[in-house]
Amino acid sequence: MITVTDLTKKYARTTAVDHISFSVSKGDIVGFLGPNGAGKTTTMRMLTCFLPPTEGKATVAGFDVFEQSMEVRRRIGYLPESPPLYLEMETIEYLRFVGRLKGLSGADLEKRVAYVLDRCAIADVKTRLLSKLSKGYRQRVGLAQAIIHNPDVLILDEPTAGLDPKQINETRDLIKSLAGDHTIILSTHILPEVEQTCESVIIINKGKLVATDSVHNLQARARGAESVLVNVGVRSGEFPLSIVRDRLQRISGVSGTTLKEEFPGGALFEIESSRGQLVRGDLARAIVESGWDLNELRPSAMSLEEVFLQLTGSDAAASSNTPPEPGPPADAPASEANA
């Protein structure tokens, strides 16, 4: 659906986007990830025909963004970083205007307006002035204008920036629900967002492509083998560290045990296994049958945040010292990448 080859954007002194290539197939929902100033917005602006590329080419639905700009624009819905709202207009009036601008008219237009009002849950503010709407509503009106002409491709630039946690969840759910009908590229610098909404990720840093893969593969690739964290303890007496380690080592499929932390009456091991997470049952049984306490057993899934830091090379050393997080935080607007 989208093919980008050697796309480059140079400004007078800086190169914002430097020969990046990727492709997105139909129906995908792709996270476009990078620290602030990485060139996310510039790339999106080139895809939406707002900026012409300096070098390279990009096609959307088979049309070149520079040569066949009008065809591309008809097939793209774009939500810029701040929703492009005319604050003096009413919601419905604004949506009608955008619909007309995108080539809709008559009964068709009214049908689409009613549809997006319903889909984006903004029907209750349809006669309200846009200037009176809260940030969350404005964002949803922004999404509504992007999908009004039922475009093949949706390009969303930081769709959840500046929203509160509840609004972020609502917006994410909305985006996920749109994935069936549209091919979506969304940019963000918030990592849990990508883990929760996207199927694959394109990571760029300083204008260069760093990685492009599925979320799952990226995590696996950075982690190497699957690993599990086990916290074993004893009720009384000295903790038999070497015996426990030997016992764990003997379980079939375990390729390595690392002592992560030792404390009075217990220890935390990281178990690497070739059988992935399947080894957990055997681990639990072995520990309990030996008469020890199994205090904790959890996958040491590396969060995308660490993958990201590793790939973009910033603070990689610092983050590997801290114990891995137990998966992505459920709701973490504060856990933005400090990159």
Partner 1 sequence: MRNMWIICRRELSSYFASPIAWLLLAMYSIIFGWIFWNFLAEFIKQSQDMMMMGQTQPMNVNEQIIRPLLGTSSFLGLFMIPLISMRLFAEEKRNGTIELLATSPVRDIEIIIGKWFSATLLYCWIIIFACINFVFLFRYGNPDWKPMLVTLLGVFLQGAALLAVGTFISTLTKNQIIAAAMTFGACLLLWVFSWVSSYDSSTWAQVFSYLSVITHFDTFDRGVLSTKDAIYYLSVIFVGLFFTARSMESLRWRS
Q: Which residue in 20, 22, 31, 73 binds partner 1 (CB under 8 A)? A: 73
Q: Which residue in 25, 67, 101, 258 binds partner 1 (CB under 8 A)? A: 101
**Collapsing DSSP states into helix, strand and coil, what is residue 115?**
helix
- For the chain, the straight-line distance linking the first and the last C-alpha, in angstroms and rounded, comes to 31
Site for partner 1 in 139-198 (CB under 8 A): 145
Smallest gap, in angstroms, from Cβ of residue 88 to partner 1? Answer: 4
N residues, the chain: 339
Smallest gap, in angstroms, from Cβ of residue 102 to partner 1? Answer: 6
CA–CA separation, 191 and 217 (whole Å): 15
One character per residue 2-31, x = contact with partner 1 (rule: CB under 8 A): ---------x--------------------
How many residues line the site for partner 1 (CB under 8 A)? 30
Q: Which residue in 37, 56, 80, 162 binds partner 1 (CB under 8 A)? A: 80
CA–CA separation, 18 and 4 (whole Å): 12
Smallest gap, in angstroms, from Cβ of residue 86 to partner 1? Answer: 6
Smallest gap, in angstroms, from Cβ of residue 58 to partner 1? Answer: 14
Judged by CB under 8 A, does residue 323 bind partner 1? no
> Which distant-in-sequence residues (6+ apart) come within 8 Å of 135 by Cβ?
162, 163, 167
- Beta strands 200-205 and 266-273, pairing class: unpaired
The piece of 97-105, 109-117, 166-174, 221-229 that touches partner 1 (CB under 8 A) is 97-105
Instruction: Give me the long-range contacts of 214-220 (CB less than 8 A, separation at least 24).
Output: 215/31, 215/304, 218/304, 218/307, 219/301, 219/302, 219/303, 219/304, 219/307
Sequence-ordered alpha helix ranges (H) in 75-159: 91-101, 106-119, 135-147
One character per residue 32-61, x = contact with partner 1 (rule: CB under 8 A): -------------x--xxxxx---------
Judged by CB under 8 A, does residue 87 bind partner 1? yes
The piece of 82-90, 297-305, 316-324, 330-338 that touches partner 1 (CB under 8 A) is 82-90
CA–CA separation, 196 and 31 (whole Å): 10
CA–CA separation, 273 and 88 (whole Å): 61
Judged by CB under 8 A, does residue 66 bind partner 1? no
CA–CA separation, 175 and 309 (whole Å): 26
Smallest gap, in angstroms, from Cβ of residue 50 to partner 1? Answer: 5
Where along the sequence are the contacts to partner 1 (CB under 8 A)? 11, 45, 48-52, 70, 73-74, 76, 78, 80-89, 93, 97-98, 100-103, 145
